[in-house]
Amino acid sequence: ISEAPSLPGVRVPEPDTGPAAPEAPVVTGAPEATDAPEVVEAPVQTEAPAETETPESSDVATSEGGDNSFFTPVETLEDRAENVEVNRLPTIGGDDETLPVVRRLPGTPIVGDEEEPDDAPDEAAAAEAGAPAVAVGPAIRAFAMDYAGLTGNAVVSIVLMHEGTAALSAAELAAMPDTVAFAVDAGLPNAGAIASAYRQEGREVVLIPSLPAGASPQDVEVALGANLEEVPEAVAVMDVTGSSFQSDRDAVAQVVAVVSDTGHGIITFPRGLNTAHQQAERAGLPTGLIFRLLDEDGETNEQIRRTLDRAAFRARQSDAVILVGHTRAATLEVLRQWAADATGDVSVAPISVALGND
């Protein structure tokens, strides 16, 4: 190695010929040095630096009038306390290249091993708390019941409009096909609780909107949004005998626009030119026309049964047929008997299936 370059602005004095510096006092009973803190990671060097020669004392620059021991390399210092261990740190390229093992304190996380926070909602906890499910994709798919019908069978779907202050009991529901859906009027004081009770029994739910008469398109949008919040797990929206939003062309357009965003189906009664049905079809929405209303005018049990038979006959000849009734005792009894006697080529399917087949 070449001579050390002179530092700018530092004068190199002549060797001091004055009296020698007194020897450093010997320190007795010096406390034993504690272990150096263990290293988490040692930098890896691809090549160990070459050892430098110890410069002569006369070649080491010193500050003016000071002791030259400050500038003396560490290797030349001799006056250190007794019992002090040096060279305890691991060296790169030495005989033992194994890095020290770091002991982790209890409860101390390891960098990179922390678990990512789980921001996804706990569906099981939400169900236990009674919170409505969140639709993933179109509502008609998100809230449709599982159904595996017989291929080639005629499809009849039945929607019963709820009447009363409480949902049907579990025993009443068990007496009829489990694919029968229930329509709930969003204007009922406890519409949300009724719809939730049917959903908990595995039934599909249809929303009957409660819209103000003569409302502007903006009012229809706001009201329908509130209705969908009240009955959040509906698969479709249904008019009531064609006298609700179907009677107003502007309201129809607004309902179709909202449902296009939510992915609900639309069920309508045959009325005039079937404007609502046509607009829903043009928008690409799952939609269906109601074939008959079972019990609107106080029909007898025999009349209700004949309507069910005509619906089955129609379904064998064309696409799925949709029937609408009420949760009245006579209707429930006829429906139970008819389903038990139905031939094997007719399936009572969920309303979501009928809307997809129409």
DSSP, residue by residue, 307-344: HHHHHHHHHHHSS-EEEEEE--HHHHHHHHHHHHH--T
Q: Which whole-number Å values give the CA distances from 285 to 278, 288, 343, 355, in the listed order?
A: 10, 10, 32, 9
pLDDT the model gives residue 344: 85
Please give the distance of CA 78 from its chain centroid, rounded to a whole number: 69
Residue 3 belongs to a domain = no
- Cβ count near 147 (within 10 Å): 13
The residue with greater pLDDT, 245 or 184, is 184
Residue 205 belongs to a domain = yes
Whether residue 119 is predicted with pLDDT greater than 80 in this model: the reply is: no
- Cβ count near 279 (within 10 Å): 19
pLDDT the model gives residue 46: 47
Whether residue 110 is predicted with pLDDT greater than 60 in this model: the reply is: no
pLDDT the model gives residue 240: 83
The torsion defined by the Cα of 277, 280, 284 and 289, in degrees rounded to 10, comes to -30
pLDDT the model gives residue 120: 44
Whether residue 11 is predicted with pLDDT greater than 90 in this model: the reply is: no
Q: How far apart are the C-alpha atoms of 38 and 197, rounded to whole Å?
A: 64
pLDDT, tens only, 217-246: 899 999 999 999 999 999 999 998 766 788
Residue 100 belongs to a domain = no
pLDDT the model gives residue 185: 96
The residue with greater pLDDT, 59 or 194, is 194
Cβ neighbours of residue 330 under 8 Å, at least 6 residues apart?
A: 295, 300, 301, 304
Helices (H), 143-247: 170-174, 191-200, 217-230
The residue with greater pLDDT, 253 or 106, is 253
Give me the CATH number covering residue 308.
Answer: 3.20.20.370
The residue with greater pLDDT, 327 or 241, is 327
Q: Could you tell me the pLDDT band of residue 330, with boundaries at 50, 70 and 90?
A: very high
Q: Which whole-number Å values give the CA distances from 232 to 111, 123, 186, 224, in the listed order?
A: 43, 16, 10, 11
Q: Could you tell me the pLDDT band of residue 273, with boundaries at 50, 70 and 90?
A: confident
Percent of the chain with pLDDT over 90: 50
Range of the domain at 281: 150-357
Q: How far apart are the C-alpha atoms of 185 and 270, rounded to whole Å?
A: 20
Residue 317 belongs to a domain = yes
pLDDT, tens only, 125-183: 444 445 556 656 899 999 999 998 878 899 999 999 999 999 999 999 999 999 999 99
Please state which of the ranges 123-127, 247-251, 330-334 shows the lowest mean pLDDT: 123-127
Residue 26 belongs to a domain = no
**Mean pLDDT for the stretch of residues 269-281:** 91
Judge contact between 177 and 350, C-beta under 8 A: no
pLDDT the model gives residue 114: 47
Residue 326 belongs to a domain = yes
Q: How far apart are the C-alpha atoms of 273 and 281, rounded to whole Å?
A: 13
- Cβ count near 136 (within 10 Å): 8
Q: Could you tell me the pLDDT band of residue 107, with boundaries at 50, 70 and 90?
A: very low
Residue 181 belongs to a domain = yes
User: 3-state DSSP: the chain helix, strand, coil percent, rounded to 5?
Assistant: 30, 10, 60
pLDDT the model gives residue 54: 46
Whether residue 49 is predicted with pLDDT greater than 80 in this model: the reply is: no
pLDDT the model gives residue 343: 80
Closest C-alpha among 295, 298, 225, 294 to residue 258: 225
**Mean pLDDT for the stretch of residues 117-132:** 48
Q: How far apart are the C-alpha atoms of 260 and 286, rounded to whole Å?
A: 10
pLDDT the model gives residue 40: 45
Strand residues in the chain grouped as ranges (E): 154-161, 181-185, 205-208, 236-238, 265-268, 287-293, 321-326, 346-348
The torsion defined by the Cα of 232, 237, 238 and 244, in degrees rounded to 10, comes to 90
Residue 12 belongs to a domain = no
For the chain, how many structural domains are there in total? Answer: 1
Reduced to 3 states (helix: H, G, I; strand: E, B; else coil), residue 280 is helix
